Chains A and B, each alone.
Chain A
Amino acid sequence: MKCPEYKKWIYLNNIDELLDWEKIRLDEHLQTCSSCRQLFDNNETGKCFIQKLNKVEPLLTYPDKLTSDIMIAINEKGTYADVKIKLNMLLDFIISYKVRILAFSIVIVLISLFSYQQFHIIYKLDRMERQIATQSTDNIGSVQKLSLRNNLMIKELVMNTDDELIFLDNASIDYLLKSYKNLKTDHDELIELLNENMKNLEKKLSKKDIQKLKQLLKEDDLGKKLYTNL
């Protein structure tokens, strides 16, 4: 190793960064090299100087006055500072981790409550609709009454047709009812009237259903069923 590297070691030695074996090697070199020895001695002198300087404490004159000045400053700034501190504490509290979790939980609970309420309303409405659909039609307005009767009767009518629901429009069912009342005993005439309005019925019923309907009319079952439902 050459002198420039030992010089680096001398400076590293200043910050206690040399390993033990490096120190030994440096010592060995210093015994043989006057230039490095000179640098090392200067460094040591500087080190001693700084160590001496370390022991010289600056003198604090009138410490009691300084203490009282500090206490006065605290009292003067205290009121304003206290408010500021409280605000800072409040701000710290607001943005603290726990409060954020709490706020997040509250939001989740509120969203859940709102969702439950919505679901509950929808459920209740659905139940009301079901109740309305199943309850007596006496309390319902005439148009709805027909519509409900329509559903109920046609359900009965199609029970024998693959259990499918068939809906007749109000006009058709009204027509069927009137026809039956006016021509209670004359089924043939009813069939005739049905045939006349077949185009209207064909829109709603399949051919198979119409045939079934005609069969029921012939057997007077339709009359009985309509009578029961009414």
Chain B
Amino acid sequence: MDKENLIQIIKSAQRKDTDAFKQLVKNYQTYVFSLAFRLVCDEEEAKDIVQDCFVKVWQHINSFDFKAKFTTWLYKIVYNMSLDKIKVNNRRKAVIINAGNISELSEKIFSKHPEEDQINKNLAEIIKVLADKLTPKQRAVFVLRDLQGVEMDEISIITSLTKGAVKSNLYYARLNIRTKLEQVENIKIL
């Protein structure tokens, strides 16, 4: 979807055109799901976040003023919703992490023909293991920068952190993850 087209669709959605909004949903639900999944590491919860996120977008689309990128605005909503979920999950359940599985899981996930029905499960497991000891913000910054490939400036807007704080969180997140990966013997990068 090119920029002009996107602007037109958003403007139509702001006039409560449901068809235009449906186009937005179709276009961005995969991105939103991807970020939500990587943050909460659960397919169903990620889908719930996607649904709630778009309902919120529909309710507040008039407040989008085209100053920031639409994806940044969208990611900010997903980030806030996911962060709440992560905090609740951290309180509710103690996840049993087995770092030794990473090697095995990575083999499956990085293979040329991964089992489609297992991708989400394996990916979620790997991220859970890697991000186990990270704070919700470190986890979010790591996911946004290293897994989603979002630029530092955008991360700063999405997370409402200063650029310095983003870098600091990223530094500790990477340090933690690298330390964890060092513990895994024979990790294979195919």
Contact = CB atoms under 8 A, between A and B. Distances in A.
B167 A15 contact: yes
A33 interface: no
A14 to B, nearest CB: 5
Interface in A68-104: 69-71, 73-75, 77-78, 81-82, 84-85, 89
B18 to A, nearest CB: 7
Nearest to A60: B33
Contacts of A82: 16
A73 B29 CA distance: 15
Given A11-B171, A56-B109, A56-B110, A45 B187 contact: yes
B162 to A, nearest CB: 15
Contacts of A57: 34
Interface residues on A, range: 35 or more
Given A15-B170, A70-B54, A74-B18, A59 B116 contact: yes
Nearest to A63: B29
A100 B106 CA distance: 60
A74 B120 contact: no
B51 A14 contact: no
A57 B170 CA distance: 21
B27 to A, nearest CB: 10
Interface residues of B, number: 50
Contacts of A54: 146-149
A46 B50 contact: no
A46 B182 contact: yes
A126 interface: no
Given A58-B38, A59-B116, A15 B171 contact: yes
A58 B123 contact: yes
A43 interface: yes
B55 to A, nearest CB: 5
Contacts of A89: 62
Contacts of B47: 66
Interface stretch (B71-79, B87-95, B132-140, B172-180): B172-180
B51 A70 contact: yes
Given A45-B187, A53-B147, A17 B110 contact: no
11 contacts: A17-B171, A45-B187, A49-B106, A52-B110, A52-B190, A53-B123, A58-B120, A66-B51, A71-B21, A77-B59, A85-B59
Interface of B: 16, 18, 21-22, 25-26, 29-30, 33-34, 37-38, 43, 46-47, 50-51, 54-55, 58-60, 62, 106, 109-110, 114, 116, 119-120, 123-124, 126-127, 146-149, 167, 170-171, 174-175, 177-178, 181-182, 187, 189-190
Interface of A: 11-12, 14-15, 17, 42-43, 45-46, 48-50, 52-54, 56-61, 63, 66-67, 69-71, 73-75, 77-78, 81-82, 84-85, 89
